[in-house]
Amino acid sequence: MAGKRLKGRVLSVASEAVPLIKTGGLADVAGALPAALTAEGWQVRTLLPAYPGLAGRLAGGKIVWRSDDLFGGPARVLAGKVEEGDFLLIEAPHLYDRPGGPYAGGGRDHPDNPERFAALSWVAAEIARGQGLDGWRADVLHAHDWQAGLAPSYLKMASARVRSVMGIHNIAFQGIVPADRLARLRLRAEDFHQGYLEYWGNISTLKAGLIAADAIVTVSPSYAEEIMRPEFGMGLEGVIAFRGRAVQGILNGVDAAIWDPAADPHILPFSAARPEAKAANRARLLAEFGLDAVTGPLAVIVSRMTHQKGIDLLADATPGFVAAGGGLAVLGSGDPWLEEKMQGLAARHAGKVAVRIGYDEALSHRMFAGADAVLVPSRFEPCGLTQMYGLLYGAIPVVAATGGLNDTVIHASPAALAVGAATGITFHPVDSLALSQALRRLVQLHADREVWAAMQGRGMRSDLGWAAAARAYSRLYDGLLAQ
Ligand code: ADP
């Protein structure tokens, strides 16, 4: 509720956040959580690097911090508004003003990523502990992923009385840095040991955050349990288990300002109460992708193309699906081998499978609006957002039973259908046989118009907003401040 008593100040630190810069789900979360926390009574500022073009989008930019030497060059922090959000942008041309994306350019990682994101973490600690020119200080520093992983350590080194939270959006990305960069990252030699910064002979900035932070949050309850096990912990399971009592899972929400089929400028609007335009969106999507031979359910995938996402399993699962009338439209970019594999699949099934390589936000909206189903066959998935967009847009999710996918989709078992609870299809293990069976089930369910419409309606009416997550984060911060 607006106007609530101020509970405290939060500095949220991330390498990407909507609406300024996005490569994946982290940006959706870092962009949406602040507004939800504001409604809970927290004042939140979001700190990001000023990648090219970002500072120009800041309204009322005011210099609140400066340095002659931020990891090798001058830097300053600008504070201002972007839409409703309070942003702080680090202008440091030697680190952030270059072509390419936030992490890579010309097909390879920026070689100075350790310094670039250590700088983000360093400035975060400075601002959080009140070193800014406007005297603002944070009660809680919330560091997202390895890029912000050193911020809790820098706070500790300064003996700052700021509570810290380490957020894990994907434990596969661990911020591994060669040990000889220790001093350059302004870290102390005595902290380089197995119980803290050291990770198999290197530095891991994520591990540093997991040890130094007061609390650890990951983006779904299932993933919080999974990462205590070797199959999912990716080498950090011991650290997670060691910090067990400080770890919790809080399911991400969906930003209703961006993902609402009744008010989405990219599509013909529809809703659970007025679903008619869903069919017209579907017809447009089929035409846009040249899918003229689809007689059954139209499934979509919107995803980074990496091994994690299990998209390669479609090579074996698709022939049976399209033979049964199904269609598949894919949007994504990533690993070249996977892009080629998917393009090959489309070539073999013209009129039934189509692939667009690239990143296209508007097209992704049209795809969820036009789809009958959204596929997420991930080998692991901390939370996952596209299955939730599917639910809200009347596209039945077909998902691997893992992580946040498991926490957001209720499988259409006979029992769940009988009590009117089912919202999608889950499958396990994550292999092409189980995916094939899930797609066969999809075709069956699609043919039963009554059951299908009931499932669609349930998904579209589900409450997937940020309010529940914001309450959980608010309780966590409250608990930290009471310590
Ligand atoms: P991850 O963060 O692992 O990439 P998530 O499902 O949590 O996976 O979030 C992915 C986000 O990125 C979603 O908002 C999804 O719609 C978006 N996305 C992924 N690939 C594309 C693409 N090629 N074009 C448009 N949006 C994409």
Write out pLDDT tens, residues 268-308.
Answer: 999 999 999 999 999 999 999 999 999 999 999 999 999 99
SS3 state of residue 74: coil
Please tell me whether residues 403 and 314 are part of one structural domain: yes
Ligand 1 center–CA 415 separation, angstroms? 32
Residue 103 beta carbon below 6 angstroms from any ligand 1 atom: no
Residue 31 beta carbon below 6 angstroms from any ligand 1 atom: no
Q: Assign residue 425 the CATH number of its domain.
A: 3.40.50.2000
Does residue 269 lie in a domain region? no
pLDDT in tens, 411-463: 999 999 999 999 999 999 999 999 999 999 999 999 999 999 999 999 999 99
Q: Give the residue, by CA position, lying nearest to ligand 1 atom 17.
A: 24
Residue 384 beta carbon below 6 angstroms from any ligand 1 atom: yes
Q: Give the residue, by CA position, lying nearest to ligand 1 atom 19.
A: 303
What whole-number distance in Å separates Cα of residue 306 and Cα of residue 370? 24
Q: Which of 169, 303, 393 to mutate to test the pocket of ligand 1 (most atoms within 8 A of CB)?
A: 303
Q: Please, are residues 199 and 235 in contact by the beta-carbon 8 Å criterion?
A: yes
Please tell me whether residues 182 and 228 are part of one structural domain: yes
- Is the model's pLDDT at 325 over the cut of 70? yes
Q: Give the residue, by CA position, lying nearest to ligand 1 atom 18.
A: 303
Does residue 336 lie in a domain region? yes
Residue 252 beta carbon below 6 angstroms from any ligand 1 atom: no
Does residue 262 lie in a domain region? no
Please tell me whether residues 440 and 378 are part of one structural domain: yes
Beta bridge partners of 426: 399
- Of ligand 1's listed atoms, the one at least distance from the Cα of 364 is 25
Residue 186 beta carbon below 6 angstroms from any ligand 1 atom: no
Residue 236 beta carbon below 6 angstroms from any ligand 1 atom: no
Please tell me whether residues 63 and 26 are part of one structural domain: yes
Residue 342 beta carbon below 6 angstroms from any ligand 1 atom: no
Q: What are the Cα distances from residue 274, in Å, to 278, 297, 422, 461?
A: 9, 21, 21, 12
Please tell me whether residues 398 and 440 are part of one structural domain: yes
The answer, yes or no, to whether the previous bond of 382 is cis (omega within 30 of 0) is no
Please tell me whether residues 295 and 215 are part of one structural domain: no
Please tell me whether residues 214 and 297 are part of one structural domain: no
Tokens for 20, please give them: 């300024």
- Of ligand 1's listed atoms, the one at least distance from the Cα of 385 is 6
- Of ligand 1's listed atoms, the one at least distance from the Cα of 219 is 7
Q: Give the residue, by CA position, lying nearest to ligand 1 atom 24.
A: 359
Please tell me whether residues 123 and 78 are part of one structural domain: yes
Rounded mean pLDDT of the chain?
97
What whole-number distance in Å separates Cα of residue 140 and Cα of residue 75? 24
Q: Give the residue, by CA position, lying nearest to ligand 1 atom 26.
A: 361
Ligand 1 center–CA 21 separation, angstroms? 13
Q: Helix H segments across 16-130? A: 25-39, 93-96, 113-128
Amino acid in the structure at residue 23: T
Residue 359 beta carbon below 6 angstroms from any ligand 1 atom: yes
Please tell me whether residues 349 and 234 are part of one structural domain: no
Does residue 128 lie in a domain region? yes
Please tell me whether residues 286 and 236 are part of one structural domain: no
Ligand 1 center–CA 105 separation, angstroms? 19
pLDDT in tens, 12-50: 999 999 999 999 899 999 999 999 999 999 999 999 999
Residue 25 beta carbon below 6 angstroms from any ligand 1 atom: yes
Please tell me whether residues 167 and 207 are part of one structural domain: yes
Range of the domain at 353: 277-460
Does residue 334 lie in a domain region? yes
pLDDT in tens, 48-106: 999 999 999 999 999 999 999 999 999 999 999 999 999 999 999 999 999 999 999 98
- Of ligand 1's listed atoms, the one at least distance from the Cα of 376 is 6
- Is the model's pLDDT at 4 over the cut of 70? no
- Of ligand 1's listed atoms, the one at least distance from the Cα of 356 is 23
Residue 153 beta carbon below 6 angstroms from any ligand 1 atom: no
pLDDT in tens, 186-231: 999 999 999 999 999 999 999 999 999 999 999 999 999 999 999 9
Sequence-distant (≥ 6) Cβ neighbours of residue 289 within 8 angstroms? 329, 354, 356
Does residue 261 lie in a domain region? no
Ligand 1 center–CA 307 separation, angstroms? 14
Ligand 1 center–CA 310 separation, angstroms? 14
Please tell me whether residues 166 and 292 are part of one structural domain: no
Angle at 16 between CA 3 and CA 328, to 5 degrees: 110
Does residue 74 lie in a domain region? yes
Does residue 72 lie in a domain region? yes
Q: How many helices (H) and strands (E) does the chain have?
A: 18, 20
Tell me what pLDDT residue 1 has: 46
Q: Which of 168, 342, 357, 385 to mutate to test the pocket of ligand 1 (most atoms within 8 A of CB)?
A: 385
Residue 145 beta carbon below 6 angstroms from any ligand 1 atom: no
**Domains in the chain, number:** 2
pLDDT in tens, 363-419: 999 999 999 999 999 999 999 999 999 999 999 999 999 999 999 999 999 999 999
DSSP result, 1-28: -TTPPP-EEEEEE-S-BTTTB-SSHHHH
- pTM, 2 dp: 0.94
Q: Which of 386, 387, 393, 402 to mutate to test the pocket of ligand 1 (most atoms within 8 A of CB)?
A: 386
Residue 361 beta carbon below 6 angstroms from any ligand 1 atom: yes
Tell me what pLDDT residue 452 has: 98
Ligand 1 center–CA 332 separation, angstroms? 8
Question: How sure is the predictor about 107, in pLDDT bands with cuts at 50, 70 and 90?
Answer: confident
